[in-house]
């Protein structure tokens, strides 16, 4: 006899799930009954927040949902921060939890791990949360979850299964097959209207976001047809290669790029929220789109948020971009000769002239990594080199730079997310790409125990620790606002000793040559390596 829990594992296999992140507990053991006999690898974090961040990093490199098995009550409260980060960045994540038996739901009887309304607790950080009231409903609920991942704006989904439903007989469901959904195509009439506006534009510009990650080839064709400079959000880095003449980076919060956007007579925003943390990282306002705005998004609601468009198209970014390429091929256009690649090059020169010495030295840290590990995936936390890289670094292809300094903005994300990114990167390159966690000493203390998870899972994770002995960015923010700093000068542990105690290799480096030598050694190991960089020492030694 197969239980509901065993059928769940079989259905997940059918949907292509190959990794599950979770910590077994007395309320989830029935989720694990069929796991050992399956092809799914289980990875055990040291905290449920780590499970969620691992699933997030896995999804970003793999391009399909990360899956978590989470215990009732405290497991779900622990993972909500990770779900919030994934929700903010439109990352597909399937969180499957247990919950009290059906006759005890909401009973307030003091049951183990009891919450008054677990589903209601997480409803604000997921596309939907559903309680499985019968094993017979399992195929439909899973199909609904994957319909969100496949066909809608991808976000976390939570399915909770009561303890008594987990053990229900479910032999009759063993033959159920997965149901997959396609993404919405582009309405021809709206495509024609957009193409007409773009063809007539003298100074068109494209703003592309993380929702367009699958549209790189069509986006490049579209930009070239239009001779339109392309600004990429942080989650879209690499959609146009670093050397593409129309690529203007992720600098929409800087005056020079804002001036360029203001010059555009037609702006096409595709797969982007046009939100604060991509377009106004100074949090002072001022980003404007004076020209005609056209928006493409898979989410109808998003097409009218933040900036109202003159024309909106609800469609998959790749399908919409391909449709526009085809429509524009039939519409000859004459561009302002001072626009396009010439204007993009002038912007890049202006930006390069404005970087200060700390920015240049931190950028050198990042370029040193990519010189040594050209295929590396760089996963960042909220720390200074990440803020710098968001502005100065461009990548050769997408899904290689993402971080928690934008959107939800949680600390501690990078270590477990980078571990998940390595596990998910097998399909991105021929072999798993090296995964580098960029994290500060404050953020690392949020999730430091996950180093032990990487040791256990034999993940050759590289943790590049930027150590400035406290919450320096918040301290600067306080000082700039005439607030006497409190709570920011925290105790700094001996990270080298701690990392070694958790089973990782660890060393300190002071310049580019030492860093690159340490990186070469790190990728050959079967477990994680912590490489510590002291901020003051690096910036004194490295001119940029």
CATH number of the domain encompassing residue 205 = 3.40.50.1220
**Residue 191 contacts by C-beta under 8 Å, 6 or more apart in sequence?**
313, 320, 323, 324, 327
Mean pLDDT of 421-430: 74
148 and 253 together in one domain: no
**For range 281-303, the mean pLDDT:** 89
CA 93, CA 62: separation in Å to the nearest integer? 12
Q: What is the mean pLDDT of residues 484-506?
A: 93
Instruction: Give the domain range for residue 215.
Output: 188-352
| Mean pLDDT within 10-33 | 94
Query: Are the beta carbons of 384 and 468 closer than 8 angstroms?
Result: yes
Q: Where are the beta strands (DSSP E) in 243-318?
A: 266-270, 292-297, 311-314
Per-residue pLDDT at 544: 62
| Residue 332 pLDDT > 80 | no
469, 537 contact by CB (below 8 A): no
Per-position b or e across 447-483, b if 16+ CB within 10 A of its CB: bbbbbbbbbebebbbbbbbbbbebbbbebeebeeeee
Q: What is residue 283's predicted lDDT score, i.e. its pLDDT?
A: 65
If you write DSSP's letter for every residue of 403-458 in order, what string do you get? ESSSTT--SS-HHHHHHHHHHHGGGTSSSPPPEEEEEEHHHHHHHTTHHHHHHHHT
Tell me: do 278 and 376 sit in the same domain: no
User: What is the structure's pLDDT at 427?
Assistant: 56
Q: In this structure, are residues 184 and 318 in contact, taking their beta carbons and an 8 Å threshold?
A: no
471: in domain: yes
- Whether the per-residue pLDDT at 399 is higher than 80: the answer is yes
93 membership: H or E segment, kind and range: strand 93-99
Q: What is the pLDDT of residues 155-167, one digit of tens each?
A: 999 999 999 999 9
pLDDT at residue 62 above 60?
yes
Residue 182 lies in a domain: no
317 and 367 part of one domain: no
Within a domain: 180: no
Do 298 and 158 share a structural domain?
A: no
348 and 266 co-located in one domain: yes
Same domain? For 155 and 10 the reply is: yes
Closest CA to 49 of 64, 68, 33, 28: 68
pLDDT, average across residues 60-83:
96
Residue 418 lies in a domain: yes
183 within some domain: no
Confidence of residue 106 (pLDDT cuts 50, 70, 90): confident
pTM summary value: 0.95
Residue 430 banded pLDDT, cuts 50, 70, 90: very low
Q: Does 137 lie in the same domain as 207?
A: no
Q: Which of the listed residues 173, 207, 233 is the one where a domain comes to its end?
A: 173
Closest CA to 72 of 33, 103, 107, 101: 101
Instruction: Please tell me the total count of domains within the chain.
Output: 3
pLDDT of residue 282 exceeding 70, the answer is: no
Burial class of residue 360 (count of CB atoms within 10 Å of its CB; 0-12, 13-18, 19+): middle
pLDDT value of residue 431: 62
**Span 302-324, mean pLDDT?**
96
67 shares its domain with 127: yes
> Given CA atoms 91, 94, 100, 105 in this order, what sign does their dihedral have?
positive
Q: In which band, very low, low, confident or very high, does the pLDDT at 390 lie, cut at 50, 70 and 90?
A: very high
Res 145: pLDDT? 98
- Assess whether pLDDT exceeds 60 at residue 303: yes
Q: Which residues contact 54 (CB under 8 A, 6 or more apart)?
A: 21, 43, 45, 66, 416, 417, 419, 420, 423, 453
In a domain, 138, yes or no: yes
CA angle in degrees (0–180, nearest 5) for 27-33-38: 135
Q: Does residue 307 sit in the same domain as residue 453? A: no
Q: Are residues 286 and 361 in the same domain?
A: no
Residues near 184 by beta carbon (within 8 Å), at least 6 away in sequence: 151, 298, 314, 315, 316, 319
Q: Residue 181: inside a domain, yes or no?
A: no
Nearest to 438 by CA among 382, 488, 400: 382
Cβ neighbors of 137 (< 8 A, separation 6 or more) are none
Of the residues 352, 379, 412, the one at which a domain ends = 352
In this structure, the answer to whether residues 164 and 206 fall within a common structural domain is no
For residue 288 the two structure tokens come to 């404007």
Neighbouring C-alpha atoms within 13 Å toward the C-beta of 433: 30
Whether 304 and 367 share a structural domain: no
Q: What is the mean pLDDT of residues 25-52?
A: 94
CATH number reported for the structural domain that contains residue 88 in this entry: 3.40.50.970
Q: What percent of the chain has pLDDT over 90?
A: 83
- Residue 48 domain-assigned (yes or no): yes
The answer, yes or no, to whether residue 428 has pLDDT greater than 70, is: no
Rounded CA gap, 242 and 239, in Å? 9
Final residue of a structural domain among 352, 383, 409: 352
For the ranges 22-36, 186-200, 281-295, the lowest mean pLDDT is seen at 281-295
């Amino acid at each position: 006899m197969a239980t509901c829990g065993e059928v769940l594992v079989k259905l997940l296999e059918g949907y292509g799930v190959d990794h599950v992140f979770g910590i077994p507990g007395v309320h989830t053991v029935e989720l694990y009954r069929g796991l050992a006999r399956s092809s799914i690898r289980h990875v055990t974090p040291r905290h449920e927040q780590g499970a969620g961040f691992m699933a997030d990093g896995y999804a970003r490199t793999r391009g399909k949902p990360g899956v978590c098995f989470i215990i009732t009550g405290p497991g779900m409260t622990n993972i909500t921060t990770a779900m919030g980060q994934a929700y903010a960045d439109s990352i597909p994540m399937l969180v499957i939890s247990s919950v009290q038996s059906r006759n005890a739901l909401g009973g307030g009887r003091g049951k183990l791990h009891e919450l008054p309304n677990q589903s209601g607790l997480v409803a604000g950080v997921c596309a939907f949360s559903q309680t499985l009231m019968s094993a017979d409903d399992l195929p439909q609920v899973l199909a609904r979850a994957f319909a969100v991942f496949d066909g809608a704006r991808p976000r976390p989904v939570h399915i909770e299964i009561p303890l008594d439903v987990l053990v229900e007989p479910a032999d009759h469901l063993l033959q159920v097959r997965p149901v997959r959904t396609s993404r919405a195509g582009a309405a021809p009439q709206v495509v024609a209207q957009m193409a007409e506006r773009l063809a007539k534009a003298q100074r068109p510009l494209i703003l592309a976001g993380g929702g367009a990650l699958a549209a790189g080839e069509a986006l490049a064709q579209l930009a070239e047809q239009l001779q339109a400079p392309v600004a990429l959000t942080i989650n879209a880095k690499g959609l146009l290669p670093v050397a593409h003449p129309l690529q203007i980076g992720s600098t929409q919060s800087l005056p020079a790029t804002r001036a360029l956007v203001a010059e555009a007579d037609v702006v096409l925003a595709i797969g982007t929220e046009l939100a604060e943390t991509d377009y106004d990282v100074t949090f002072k306002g001022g980003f404007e789109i004076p020209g005609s705005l056209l928006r493409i998004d898979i989410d109808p609601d998003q097409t009218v948020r933040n900036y109202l468009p003159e024309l909106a198209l609800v469609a998959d970014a790749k399908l919409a971009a391909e449709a526009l390429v085809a429509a524009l091929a039939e519409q000859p256009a004459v561009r302002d000769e001072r626009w396009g690649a010439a204007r993009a090059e002038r912007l890049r020169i202006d930006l390069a002239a404005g970087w200060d010495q700390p920015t240049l030295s931190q950028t050198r840290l990042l370029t040193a990594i990519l010189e040594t590990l050209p295929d590396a995936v760089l996963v960042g936390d909220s720390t200074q080199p990440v803020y710098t890289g968001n502005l100065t670094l461009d990548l050769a292809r997408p899904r290689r730079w993402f971080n928690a300094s934008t959107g939800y903005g949680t600390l501690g994300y990078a270590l477990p997310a980078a571990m998940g990114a390595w596990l998910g990167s097998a399909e991105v390159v021929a072999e798993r790409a090296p995964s580098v966690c960029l994290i500060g000493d404050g953020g690392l203390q949020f999730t430091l125990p996950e180093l032990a998870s990487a040791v256990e899972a034999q993940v050759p994770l590289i943790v590049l620790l930027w150590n400035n002995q406290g919450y320096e960015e918040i301290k600067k923010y306080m000082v700039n606002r005439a607030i006497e700093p409190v709570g920011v000068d925290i105790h700094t542990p001996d990270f080298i000793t701690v990392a070694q105690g958790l089973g990782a290799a660890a060393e300190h480096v002071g310049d580019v040559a030492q860093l690159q030598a340490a990186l070469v050694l790190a990728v050959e190991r079967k477990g994680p390596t912590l490489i510590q960089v002291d901020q003051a020492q690096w910036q004194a030694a490295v001119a940029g």
